[in-house]
Structure 1
Amino acid sequence: MGVLQENLLENVQRMSALAEDAAFGAAFDHAAEAMITSLRQGGTLLACGNGGSMTNAQHFAEELTGRFRGNRPPLRAMAISDPSHLTCVANDYGYEYVFSKFVEAFARPGDVLLALSTSGKSPNVLRAAEAMKAAGGVVVASSATADSPLGQVADVTIALGSSRWADRVQESELVVIHSLMQAIEDGFGYSAP
């Protein structure tokens, strides 16, 4: 069996286990509803993560400000990914503050932070979650396990299941992000024709 086939089969097993996990489904529903509620009330969805999770955060935000499936007005979403902000804060304060300083600047009560960390231990993502809570916002965490430090801070944790490889968790993370976008569009009646 080749590398591709092994990876596909492993993902089939992971996705099947998640599809049958009632707690996972309930956490997803809670997260989607928090995001829809925030947007309906004029709130903003923020997203952050490191490495591949940053690209997932960017993808989440750009599909909401642009278009996922349905034609609709843009929705308020931002990924914390501006290179000048990240390098300024990292240089002046330290890398662990690159996301939290942005949250402190922009978050308002009722906003939602999608905090992506495969391990649930990334100090900069954890600080962002704490800053969002301090601002009166909601934290939706996506990580391998619900009992991680990030999961302990979050209002909702979408636990993707452990793996020896972070890329497996990020692949599940991307399915969750696409599903959140679909749920948000559906919640606003913008379903694709």
Structure 2
Amino acid sequence: MLDILKDSISVKDISIKNNLDKIIDASQRIAKCITSNHKVLLFGNGGSAADSQHLAAEFVNRFKIERPPLAAIALTTDTSILTSIGNDYSFDDVFSKQILAIGNKDDIAIGISTSGNSKNVVKAIYAAKEKGLYTIGFTGKGGEIAKCADIVFTVDSTVTARIQETHITLGHIFCDLVDRILFPSSF
């Protein structure tokens, strides 16, 4: 059991150290996006869908401090939209069609996929880039997302649980840094 805990800590530690400059860059971009009256769109499947919702909630409600709501939307929550697109077109289109509908130039799209190859996440990142959104990808070893997102956060693990734990840790770090950038007097 101790080995699982040590592995979890090690994977997160390595990912943070290997991506420190990118973490700061992405956090600054998210803060600028929000202060420019733009929004963050998050999406993924399964546990990554839950992470999308979790992080959107942290931005919209609050993370650690009392502050105004920040514009973020999880594209994983509207069952009517998701099932309509999935039924009439393809599950591969459930996020890209939403990006085409509500994404605007200079918004930020965050796609989360443990494999880096989820077709609907990859397709949404390409759609976001076509519309002028800045794209951030969270993956395991990389996959197709590593080839198409503007900034990619890879996790050097093949264990889905370790990848997902690291993704939510990185997401929490973004939330914390964005709050510190936008509301420095609260810290």
Q: Supply the distance in 2 between the matched residues of 1:6 and 1:55 (Cα, whole angstroms).
A: 26
Q: Supply the distance in 1 between the matched residues of 2:20 and 2:71 (Cα, whole angstroms).
A: 25
Q: Does 1:188 align with 2:182?
A: yes
Identity %: 28
Would the aligned equivalents of 1:111 and 1:138 in 2 still touch at CA under 8 Å?
A: yes
TM-score (norm 2): 0.94
Q: Does 1:49 align with 2:34?
A: no
Which residue identity does 1:95 align to in structure 2? F
Unpaired runs of at least 5, structure 2: none
Unpaired runs of at least 5, structure 1: none
- Residue 113 (structure 2) aligned to one of 110, 117, 121: 117
Deviation at 1:191, TM superposition (A): 6.8
The 3-state SS of whatever aligns with 2:69 is coil
Q: 1:154-165 alignment to 2 at 5 Å?
A: 154-163=149-158, 165=159
Which residue identity does 1:108 align to in structure 2? N
Which residue identity does 2:171 align to in structure 1? I
Q: Supply the distance in 2 between the matched residues of 1:20 and 1:95 (Cα, whole angstroms).
A: 35
Q: Does 1:58 align with 2:53?
A: yes
Would the aligned equivalents of 2:136 and 2:149 in 1 still touch at CA under 8 Å?
A: yes
Which residue identity does 1:172 align to in structure 2? T
Using a 3 Å threshold, how does the CA distance of structure 1 residues 95 and 162 change in structure 2: closer, same or farther? Answer: same
The 3-state SS of whatever aligns with 2:128 is helix
Would the aligned equivalents of 2:16 and 2:170 in 1 still touch at CA under 8 Å?
A: no
Render the CA deviation track for 1:70-118: whole Å, top value 9, x for unaligned.
Answer: 1001010000021111111000001000000110000000000111011
Q: Supply the distance in 2 between the matched residues of 1:190 and 1:77 (Cα, whole angstroms).
A: 20
Report the RMSD for the aligned CA atoms in angstroms. 1.4
Render the CA deviation track for 1:127-183: whole Å, top value 9, x for unaligned.
Answer: 11011111111000011134x2111111101112232x2111000001001001001
Q: Does 1:135 align with 2:125?
A: no
Would the aligned equivalents of 1:70 and 1:190 in 2 still touch at CA under 8 Å?
A: no
Q: Supply the distance in 2 between the matched residues of 1:30 and 1:121 (Cα, whole angstroms).
A: 24
Count of aligned residue pairs for this structure pair: 186
- Structure 1 segments (4+ residues) deviating >4 Å: 190-193
Which residue identity does 1:103 align to in structure 2? I
Deviation at 1:6, TM superposition (A): 2.9
